[in-house]
């Protein structure tokens, strides 16, 4: 009973996720509603089937769902090159100009 109910939940979820573009990017913000529906559906079948060890079965199902649909969500991507340049350039300029400024300030009154 648990397996047949969960198969229905998973088929609805799979159908909804096919349009999310999960192969190219993390579908989490847009897929949250569908994911919550899947969780609710699986939990209802787990409780309704009175299946012993249903927590383990539910965990196994969601591990597989995460491996397939949410594997790109934890990956950190580098920012674009322009952003890196805008973040690093002021530090480099300040570092290179500080010795020149110090020399000019210390020798300003002596001339």
Contact 57, 29 (CB under 8 A): no
pLDDT in tens, 74-98: 777 788 899 999 999 999 999 999 9
The gap from C-alpha 10 to its chain's centroid, in whole angstroms, comes to 21
Check whether 2 has a pLDDT greater than 90: no
pLDDT value of residue 96: 93
Give the pTM.
0.61
pLDDT value of residue 53: 61
pLDDT in tens, 12-64: 898 888 877 777 777 877 888 999 999 998 888 888 877 666 677 788 889 99
Check whether 105 has a pLDDT greater than 90: no
What's the distance, Cα to Cα, between the start and end of the chain in Å?
93
The alpha carbon torsion through 48, 51, 54, 58 (nearest 10 deg) reads -60
pLDDT value of residue 32: 87
Q: List Cβ neighbours of 25 (8 Å cut-off, separation of 6 or more).
A: 72
d(CA 66, CA 57): 14
Distances (CA, A) of 92 to 18, 37, 44: 46, 50, 58
Which token pair is 75?
């990956």
């Amino acid at each position: 009973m648990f397996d047949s109910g969960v198969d229905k939940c998973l088929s609805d979820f799979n159908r909804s996720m096919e349009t999310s573009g999960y192969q190219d990017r993390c579908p989490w913000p847009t897929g949250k509603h569908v994911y919550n529906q899947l969780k609710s559906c699986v939990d209802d079948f787990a409780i309704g089937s009175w299946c012993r060890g249903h927590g383990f079965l539910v965990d196994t199902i969601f591990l597989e769902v995460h491996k397939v649909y949410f594997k790109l969500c934890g990956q950190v991507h580098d920012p674009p090159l322009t952003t890196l340049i805008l973040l690093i350039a002021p530090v480099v300029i300040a570092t290179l100009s500080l010795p020149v400024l110090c020399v000019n300030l210390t020798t300003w009154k002596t001339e």
